[in-house]
């Protein structure tokens, strides 16, 4: 069987059967492609960690096809969670709440909580519904690498490790979901993502930063993550200063068009649209890491709305900020 198949109903049903039998299926969501396994089959979930080379202390997000499915995962659902589920599911919001004993510890990294979301993608929803099980699914890439937004990127990263890749085209949002934990009527942001904090706060009030913990409470929160295979640096000063430097072997990633186009520049959104910036971010970085460059320099964006998630990914992917000394780059 071909490993990449168009996401027709017939092929989605093939994927559902693979999940039922303990196999791995990569599938599109509205954020990025996920690598899925039946959450209630610990050996299948273990294969996710093996194929991704993912450390077992990093918990997974479990995907569902309808809100009623959370009854198989959450021990209890507080009122604030019900508000968020009703408003933002399906969508790029993950909720972290106490888990039922039936949820295998391997999926939660031994934590007493489980992360759950309902994706806003018809392929994902059909796959989960027809498999008749919640599906544990981190991003379908090698651990620490750029998340995939197209089926071909999954194949490049994971190859023979996946039983089937469902090709549903390029994902819409391009960065992962926002992860929220609710504890004692308080709402904590564990990871910024495709849904802005500002939008969440309209419905549940203040979203707080969680207290320090020696455990990884959410995926995608390690200091180094989402990184391309060549060094990436950030630049937040005046662009003219950067463009006046010798830029041989360096490519600049800019969220929006630059009037002065000296040097090699890749623009994420010609229309100055932050949604387009997020959608293109990982795709462009994957393209550039294969090019003839020794380094990538990314300009920064304001950390509000979707910009908060974009900067979170860029900071984790980067090797620090560019310095300029005597008119020369210091990388």
Please give the pLDDT value at position 240. 87
Residues forming a β-bridge with 114 = 97
What domains are there in the chain, each with its CATH number?
4-208 (3.90.870.10), 232-330 (3.40.50.11030)
Could you tell me which of 316, 35, 84 has the C-alpha nearest to residue 189?
84
Question: Cβ distance 322 to 290 under 8 Å?
Answer: no
Q: What is the pTM of this model?
A: 0.94
Q: CB burial class (10 A; 0-12, 13-18, 19+) of residue 105?
A: middle
Give pLDDT tens digits for 129-186: 999 999 999 999 999 999 999 999 999 999 899 999 999 999 999 999 999 999 989 9
Please give the pLDDT value at position 230. 95
Sign of dihedral through CA atoms 66, 71, 75, 76? Answer: positive
Q: Please state, for a pLDDT cut of 90, what percent of the chain lies above it.
A: 85
Q: 290: which 2 tokens?
A: 């294969």
Residue 1 has pLDDT above 80, yes or no: no
Residue 249 has pLDDT above 70, yes or no: yes
284 SS3 class? helix
Give pLDDT tens digits for 22-48: 999 999 999 999 999 999 999 999 999
Terminal CA-CA length for the chain: 46
With bands split at pLDDT 50, 70 and 90, how would you rate the model's confidence at 212? confident
Integer Cα distance of 82 and 86 in angstroms: 6
Could you tell me which of 281, 174, 275, 190 has the C-alpha nearest to residue 228?
281
Residues forming a β-bridge with 330 = 323
Residue 262 has pLDDT above 80, yes or no: no
Q: 285: which 2 tokens?
A: 């970085």
Helix residue ranges per DSSP H, the chain = 9-20, 42-52, 79-88, 105-108, 122-131, 151-158, 197-204, 239-243, 274-289, 306-317
- The residues near 126 (Cβ < 8 Å, ≥ 6 apart) are 9, 12, 16, 65
Sign of dihedral through CA atoms 66, 67, 72, 74? Answer: positive
Per-position DSSP letters for 12-33, written without gaps between them: HHHHHHHHHTT--EEEE-SSSE
168-171: long-range pairs with CB below 8 Å, 24+: 168/7, 168/27, 168/28, 168/121, 168/123, 169/28, 170/279, 170/283, 171/28, 171/29, 171/30, 171/31, 171/32, 171/33, 171/121, 171/279
Q: 194: which 2 tokens?
A: 């495709």
Integer Cα distance of 329 and 331 in angstroms: 6
Give pLDDT tens digits for 292-325: 999 999 999 999 999 999 999 999 999 999 988 8
Q: 205: which 2 tokens?
A: 């009030």
DSSP state of 267: E
């Amino acid at each position: 069987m071909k490993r990449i198949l168009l996401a027709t109903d017939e092929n989605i049903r093939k994927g559902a059967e693979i999940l039922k039998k303990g196999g791995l299926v990569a599938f599109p969501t509205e954020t990025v492609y996920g690598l899925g396994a039946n959450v209630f089959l610990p050996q299948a979930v273990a294969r996710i960690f093996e194929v991704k080379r993912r450390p077992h202390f990093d918990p997974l997000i479990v995907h569902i096809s309808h809100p009623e499915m959370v009854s198989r995962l959450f021990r209890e659902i507080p009122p604030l969670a019900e508000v968020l589920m009703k408003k933002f599911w399906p969508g790029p919001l993950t909720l972290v709440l106490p888990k039922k004993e039936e949820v295998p510890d391997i999926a939660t990294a031994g934590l007493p909580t489980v992360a759950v979301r309902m994706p806003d993608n018809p392929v994902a929803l059909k796959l989960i519904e027809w498999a008749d099980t919640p599906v544990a699914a981190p991003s379908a890439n090698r651990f620490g690498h750029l998340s995939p937004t197209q089926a071909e990127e999954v194949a490049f990263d994971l190859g023979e490790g996946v039983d089937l890749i469902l090709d549903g085209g390029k994902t819409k949002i391009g960065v992962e979901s926002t992860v929220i934990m609710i504890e004692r009527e308080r709402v904590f942001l564990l990871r910024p993502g495709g849904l802005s904090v500002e939008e969440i706060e309209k419905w549940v009030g203040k979203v707080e930063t969680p207290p320090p913990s020696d455990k990884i409470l959410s995926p995608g929160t390690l200091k180094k993550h989402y990184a391309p295979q060549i060094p990436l640096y950030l630049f937040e000063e005046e662009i003219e200063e950067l463009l006046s430097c010798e830029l041989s072997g360096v490519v600049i990633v800019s969220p929006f068009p630059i009037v002065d186009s000296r040097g090699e520049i890749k623009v994420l959104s010609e229309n100055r649209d932050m949604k387009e910036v997020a959608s293109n971010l990982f795709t462009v970085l994957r393209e550039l890491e294969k090019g003839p460059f020794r380094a990538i320099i990314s300009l920064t964006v304001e950390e509000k709305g979707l910009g908060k998630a974009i900067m979170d990914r860029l900071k984790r992917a980067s090797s620090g900020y560019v310095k300029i000394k005597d008119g020369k780059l210091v990388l």
